[in-house]
Each structure stands twice: as C-alpha cells, then as structure tokens.
Structure 1
C-alpha cells in the first residue's frame, strides 16, 4: 500500500510540473479535456486582483507557459480542476 501511495504522490507532483494538476493548470490541457477554448487574460486579471501568482511550467512548444491556480479557474470559468484532473 505504501508503494501505491508513493506512486500516486509522484504522479500528482509530475502533473503539477506539466500544468495538469488539481491545484494549478495551464490553458492547453484544460482546453483538451473540455473541448473548449479559454483566454488567459481573465485568469491573469483575477490573479492580479487577488494577489496570486501563476506557476511557470515547461512546455516543449513554447519553452514555458503559465499554470493558473485552481481558484482562478473556478472563479473565472467555473472549471474545478480537482474534478477535471
């Protein structure tokens, strides 16, 4: 059981690093999961108004991209990352 728990923790940690986590997510993984398009500007505005910073995650196409917090996704678009990922 301990090995399974460690594997789940490692999976979740990797997901956060690539922008597909339960607490932070980049726009592209969310778009792929939901089949919708989202703009980053409202997420940035929410972060600035709530004194929160997005994470920077590596992306093979763009170098790095912003990974936006769960609270911003929920407030701006009504997307709950914990249910999505």
Structure 2
C-alpha cells in the first residue's frame, strides 16, 4: 500500500497566475490516476497543499516536482511523508 505525502506549495513573490490552470489540470490527472487524496488553497492567498499517494518519498517528490506551479518557478514545493494518526 502506498504511503501518504503532504505537498506544501507556497507562492513565491513573483508568482505567475498563468500556472493556476495547468496546476489544476495536473491535480485532476492525479485524481484520475487515484494518486490525489485531497487538495486545497490557503485562504490568505499564500499557497495551498495537497495529499498524494506514492510508494516512497522520492516517488512523491518526483510527482510533486512535475507540478506546473513548481516547474514554472511560481511556487516553492516541500514534500513530507505524512503518518495520519487520527482521521474522521
């Protein structure tokens, strides 16, 4: 079973809003492949986060670093292996 990974995407000062639609398409592709658990934006406009399934931290980074908000340099992405302790 794949592990869960939290991807934090924090906007850089020179954030390019043209990356938003490709980012949404990227997330939709992850959802279709069963890799995306959930995603959302921060209401203060500083970025967002999503949770993905992957076999390893390296695999999760490979997935996340292909996100258009990362490849365009619009956001700084950090990937954490996430061990869920309590869930609804």
> Could you say whether these structures have the same fold, taking a TM-score greater than 0.5 normalized by the shorter chain as the test?
no
Report which of the two has the higher share of strand: 2
Larger RCO (CA within 8 A; separation ≥ 6)? 2
TM-score (norm 1): 0.35
CA radius of gyration, larger in = 1
TM-score (norm 2): 0.34
